[in-house]
Amino acid sequence: MAFRVFNGEVNNKATKIFGGEASGICDWDDIKYPHMLTLYKELFGNYWIEDEIRLISDLKQYRDGLTERERYVYNVVTGMLTSLDSVANRFNFTIGHTCTDPSVAAVIQIIGAFEGLHARSYQYLTSTMLNSEQKKQAFNAPKKIPLLRERNDIIFKKIQNFIDDPTNLEKLYHALLANLVLEGVFFTGAFVYFNSLARSNRMIGSNNMVNLIKTDENFHSVFYGDIMKILMLENPELNTELNHKEAVSFIKASVEKEKEWAEFIFEGIDTLSIPEYKDYVEYLANVICRNAGIQEVYPDNKELKSKWIITYGSKGGNTKSDFFQTNVISYGHESGDGFDL
Ligand SMILES: [Fe+2]
Ligand SMILES: [Fe+2]
């Protein structure tokens, strides 16, 4: 049994977020982890849709301003992102379903919906720019390129094990680790590729959209790091030396796979240096470890050295956007300026 929709004999406040008991009534004033309400509101505040992004210049540049290789990489990484977010969308659905705490489940449901939006956003890029041959290249890449399959399989396997047995906390632990790698490391190469094109003043609309997605992913990564810490706290039987060691070696192995993949996919791409990218991936692996309370896997790599990734890889971070794009990218609900007329 995943959870009970209603249990009149127990408290509204859940005893544990997974495998616990709760009445099923979500009383936001009576939840075990009050910051879930803040997260929930923040997620709603970050709402956006892909149609806000203009791609007219990107369409022209995709055809005339990219090399053949750059177009190929654009297609493959967009297909790869679609595949990862499609999995994330379904994974969140299952994890939300097994969650005992209704407040945590509510946060996960929004995250799941956003993963669906992300997949649709990549579709917006491909449907706008790619012809049917190029689309085939994009959407078949996750199935056809052996190195990409191999890299993804190491996380998909852990996620599938959990989907097949969703009340098993040990499998949940491993699936959460896989999800941390998915969100915190495996998306990165594609994001950085778009950032690097923007650095050469190309595909600015695509980069703006990717940066909206990256902001969401950073948020998810922090949230799931937190969930991992709570899981360990509530279930001391998972908090073992062996599990900890396995986490470290799994994250390290994933990073090595990511480096191999980067060597393959970014060959012939002048805007991106592979050694620089590898260094960045190690740095990111440390970030997911810190978020999840796991010992850093690359203790010497504590600082982000490639500052341009921040310049071109943040919402509103580049100054090359045209008026509409700038307007779109700073679209948000957090500021009330101009509304009290
Ligand atoms: Fe996503
Ligand atoms: Fe995500």
**Mean pLDDT throughout 200-214?**
96
Mean of the per-residue pLDDT values for the chain?
Answer: 91
Ligand 2 center to residue 341 CA distance, Å?
37
Query: What is the Cα–Cα distance from 107 to 41, expressed in whole angstroms?
Result: 9
**pLDDT tens for residues 23-46?**
999 999 999 999 999 999 999 888
Ligand 2 centroid vs 338 CA: distance in angstroms? Answer: 32
Ligand lying nearest the CA atom of residue 179: 2
CA of 89 from ligand 1 middle (Å) equals: 8
pLDDT value, residue 308: 92
pLDDT tens digits for 262-271?
999 999 999 9
46 close to 216: Cβ distance less than 8 angstroms: yes
Q: What is the pLDDT of residue 320?
A: 42
pLDDT for residue 322: 40
Report d(CA 159, CA 174) in Å as an integer.
Answer: 8
d(CA 46, CA 114): 10
Least confident of 152-166, 215-229, 325-339: 325-339
The CATH number corresponding to 59-324 among 1.10.620.20, 1.10.10.10, 1.20.120.1770, 1.10.3720.10 equals: 1.10.620.20
Residues with CB under 5 A from ligand 1 (ion): 85, 115, 118
In this prediction, residue 329 carries a pLDDT of 42
DSSP 299-334: TT--S---THHHHHSSTT--S---HHHHHHHT--SS
Spatial contact of 293 and 229, defined as CB atoms under 8 Å apart: yes
- Give buried/exposed letters for 251-279 (b at 16+ CB in 10 A, else e): beebbebbbebbeebbeebeebeeeebbb
At residue 273, the pLDDT reads: 95
